[in-house]
């Protein structure tokens, strides 16, 4: 296992000696943020700590099977706690409407693995070389409890499985597999979790995928793929916004494509833009140009920019990234 979690002992001791924790996961939550957040929430419950788990946005249906997922609340329903812990958030804007709760806390902690992390908390436990925030949370929980329950193991396995693309992305390391093996020994169920996350797709999501794959465009000698999903498209297929998750990976997997872009319109007219790459292209740097962030091969941002302007600017930025 890794030897460089210098702040884990300090966080562990702090949690043991204090009470009242707001766990905040990022807007547009994914498997890592949900799995990591619910794992830590479960551990705090076992320690009889007063805590809440908070997210601005609705949790994707895909992860609703995880323990305590129904207890995730929106910021407007949350009480103020002495300590706020941001989980899997690269910068404070990723807290969304929970930012005020975070800033009002007496103590703030950030636990994250994004290279673009802005170190916005009082204590920042950030490890960009790790595949998932779940890897850090795993070490923290083991330090606090001395064990990992089977429910927590399922949460953490989901976190790591999803952020490594089912252990296939370049961020997957020997440490990742070592932690996964430990989680299995603690009771994680890989076959069942794989089925629940990847093999249990709502019909509306499948129809939305078919639409996206039949309407995407190729740019720059087929090296860039871009697909757009509007609110009208979602309504046509009776699909929820989070059903767009995973579509971008199909675009990236096209043989000639080096950068994939998925633009999804939100209910308020803004756009969430997902970015994926393979090869040398750094989409985290691309996303930062628009106020976002992420990883070299997986990033994104949200913007109120008018669609036509946004489309042209994103394509131009992707072309620059290819030629960088």
288 domain-assigned: yes
Provide CB contacts within 8 A for 299, sequence distance 6+: 116, 275, 283, 284, 286, 287, 292, 293
pLDDT of the chain, 324 residues: tens digit per residue: 333 456 899 999 999 999 999 999 999 999 999 999 999 999 999 999 999 999 999 999 899 999 999 999 999 999 999 999 999 999 999 999 999 999 999 999 999 999 889 999 999 999 999 999 999 999 999 999 999 999 999 999 999 999 999 999 889 999 999 999 999 999 999 999 999 999 999 999 999 999 999 999 999 999 999 999 999 999 999 999 999 999 999 999 999 999 999 999 999 999 999 999 998 999 999 999 999 999 899 999 999 999 999 999 999 999 999 987
Please give the backbone phi and psi of residue 119, each rounded to the nearest 5 degrees, phi first.
Answer: 55, 55
Q: Work out the angle between the directed axes of helices 133-145 and 174-185 (0-180°, nearest 10).
A: 50
- Give the 3-state secondary structure of residue 208: helix
Supply the mean pLDDT for the chain: 95
Per-residue pLDDT tens digits for 67-91: 999 999 999 999 999 999 999 999 9
Domain of residue 164: give its range: 8-198
Cα distances from 139 to residues 24, 25, 160, in angstroms, run 19, 18, 13
2 domain-assigned: no
- Among candidate residues 169, 198, 227, the one where a domain is terminated: 198
Looking at the 3D structure of the chain, how many domains does it have? 2
Contact, 63 vs 31, CB < 8 A?
A: yes
Q: Is residue 14 domain-shared with residue 96, that is, in the same domain?
A: yes
221 domain-assigned: yes
- In terms of Cα–Cα distance, which of 212, 242, 245, 240 is closest to 227? 212
Q: Is residue 87 domain-shared with residue 234, that is, in the same domain?
A: no
CA dist., res. 108 & res. 102, Å (int): 7
Q: Is residue 283 domain-shared with residue 161, that is, in the same domain?
A: no
Q: Is residue 70 domain-shared with residue 34, that is, in the same domain?
A: yes
1 domain-assigned: no
Question: To the nearest 10°, the Cα dihedral for 10, 16, 19, 25?
Answer: 60
164 domain-assigned: yes
Neighbours of 45 (CB within 10 A): 16
Q: Is residue 102 domain-shared with residue 155, that is, in the same domain?
A: yes
| Token pair recorded at residue 101 | 């709760």
3 domain-assigned: no
Q: Is residue 170 domain-shared with residue 233, that is, in the same domain?
A: no
- Per-residue model confidence (pLDDT) at position 259: 98
Q: Is residue 194 domain-shared with residue 209, that is, in the same domain?
A: no
Q: Is residue 122 domain-shared with residue 20, that is, in the same domain?
A: yes
Q: Is residue 123 domain-shared with residue 254, that is, in the same domain?
A: no
- Among candidate residues 166, 198, 230, the one where a domain is terminated: 198
- Per-residue model confidence (pLDDT) at position 2: 38
Query: For 160, left (φ over 0), alpha (ψ -120 to 50), or beta?
Result: alpha
CATH number of the domain that 55 lies in? 3.90.1640.10
- Give the 3-state secondary structure of residue 216: coil
Q: Is residue 139 domain-shared with residue 257, that is, in the same domain?
A: no
| Token pair recorded at residue 264 | 């999804």
| Token pair recorded at residue 294 | 């992420």
Write the burial class of residue 20 (CB in 10 Å: 0-12 exposed, 13-18 middle, 19+ buried): middle
Q: Is residue 46 domain-shared with residue 184, that is, in the same domain?
A: yes
- Per-residue model confidence (pLDDT) at position 5: 57
Q: What is the pTM of this model?
A: 0.90
- Among candidate residues 145, 167, 198, the one where a domain is terminated: 198
161 domain-assigned: yes
Cα distances from 32 to residues 77, 134, 161, 212, 286, in angstroms, run 23, 6, 8, 25, 22
- Per-residue model confidence (pLDDT) at position 324: 78
CA dist., res. 169 & res. 36, Å (int): 19
Q: Is residue 230 domain-shared with residue 95, that is, in the same domain?
A: no
- Per-residue model confidence (pLDDT) at position 18: 97
CATH number of the domain that 306 lies in? 3.10.310.30
């Amino acid at each position: 296992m890794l030897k460089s979690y210098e702040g884990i002992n300090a966080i562990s001791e702090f949690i043991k000696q204090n009470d009242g924790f707001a766990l905040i996961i990022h807007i547009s939550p994914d498997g890592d943020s949900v799995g990591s957040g619910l794992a830590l929430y479960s551990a705090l419950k076992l320690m009889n700590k007063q805590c809440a788990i908070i997210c601005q946005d609705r949790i994707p249906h895909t992860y609703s099977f995880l323990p305590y997922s129904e207890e995730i609340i929106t910021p407007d329903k949350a009480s103020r706690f002495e300590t706020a812990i941001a989980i899997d958030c690269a910068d404070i804007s990723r807290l969304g409407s929970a930012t005020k709760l975070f800033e009002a806390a007496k103590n703030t902690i950030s636990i994250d693995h994004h290279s673009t992390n802005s170190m916005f908390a009082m204590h920042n436990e950030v490890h960009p070389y790790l595949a998932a925030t779940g890897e850090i949370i795993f070490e923290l929980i083991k330090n606090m409890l001395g064990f990992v329950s089977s429910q927590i193991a399922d949460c953490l396995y989901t976190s790591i499985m999803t952020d490594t693309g089912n252990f296939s992305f370049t961020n997957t390391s020997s440490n990742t597999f070592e932690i996964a093996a430990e989680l299995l020994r603690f009771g994680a169920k890989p076959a069942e979790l794989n089925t629940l996350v990847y093999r249990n797709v709502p019909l509306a999501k499948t129809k939305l995928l078919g639409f996206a794959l039949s309407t995407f465009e190729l740019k720059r000698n087929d090296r860039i793929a871009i697909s757009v999903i509007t609110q009208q498209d979602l309504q046509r297929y009776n699909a929820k916004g989070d059903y767009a998750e995973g579509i971008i990976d199909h675009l990236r997997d096209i043989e000639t494509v080096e950068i994939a872009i998925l633009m999804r319109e939100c209910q308020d007219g803004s756009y969430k833009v997902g970015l994926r790459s393979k090869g040398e292209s750094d989409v985290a740097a691309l996303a930062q140009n628009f106020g976002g962030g992420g990883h070299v091969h997986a990033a994104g941002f949200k913007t109120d920019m008018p669609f036509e302007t946004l489309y042209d600017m994103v394509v131009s930025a992707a072309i620059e990234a290819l030629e960088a």
